[in-house]
Amino acid sequence: MILLAESGSTKTEWCLVNEDGIIERYLTDGINPYFQSRREISHIVRLQLPPVFFKLKSNTIYFYGAGCSSTEKKDIVKASLEAQFRTPAIVESDLVGAARSLFGNEQGIACILGTGSNSCFYDGDTIVKNVKSLGYILGDEGSGASLGKAFLADCLKGLAPEELALPFFEKYRIDPEQIMDYIYTKPSPNKLLSVLSLFLYEHLEHPYVKDLVYQNLKSFFVRNILQYDYKNYPVRFVGSLANMYAKLLKEIAKELGVKIDFIHDNPINGLIAYHKSKGRL
């Protein structure tokens, strides 16, 4: 039995898995060592997971997470997990998790669209090329954080249509001053931006919204996917935003000559299949 975890900045999905499938499944807050210390990560693990995850002994923990791209950041998460579970942990980035989930042992271009965004070319074993995500300030095109940032900026500058801006502020009961305070003084503003971007999906038929989302998603293709050998390999997406905007993604892909053959909202089932194929369960 293994403990398999897949984490973005917003949520972490934990699964105890054996050869017969998932034994226990649970969601906690997201874990990202760029924004959280070892102690904060340990608090999430210890206080939010139910006791069964500590009582049922797994052989190994496989953790795939946002912000786990460097050895230094991986070690923060690894130390926390091993201290809490007393079990060896292997920590990889969420991008490695996406590639393994989407392609298994095959080659292709793996993409994540969720709170953040990322992409890579995967050779069936390892990531051999990665156009850097750069995070929600410099990159993350097409992500919830990027969409939320663009819409909020338009609302605050008076550029968003009034018929959208007013209901937006009323729905979330937040005013411009509160938004500025949260974005510039509170931790993990990318989470707030991503949550607020869900308003756009609810109004996708509005011409302003459709154009904003379309252009933002297209920038993900232009600034990321088109830098890979996309004409000779399939492109696959995973993530909540990818699933929500699947129709638009396919429209943009067709326009740019990109072949998308799979879009899914959650990488867990693919990761279970991957680890089963490696005889790890």
Q: What is the CATH number of domain 2-97+268-277?
A: 3.30.420.40
pLDDT in tens, 59-68: 999 999 988 9
User: Do the Cβ atoms of 151 and 196 come closer than 8 Å?
Assistant: yes
Query: Which of 4, 8, 3, 191 is closest to 94 using CA atoms?
Result: 8
List the structure tokens of 252: 């943009």
The model's pTM: 0.86
Report which secondary-structure segment, H or E, holds 110. Answer: strand 108-113
pLDDT in tens, 119-143: 999 999 999 999 988 776 788 899 9
| pLDDT higher at 244 or 8 | 244
User: Do the Cβ atoms of 21 and 27 come closer than 8 Å?
Assistant: no
Q: What is the DSSP letter of 171?
A: H
pLDDT at 177: 83
Q: Would you kindly state where each structural domain of the chain is located, as residue ranges?
A: 2-97+268-277
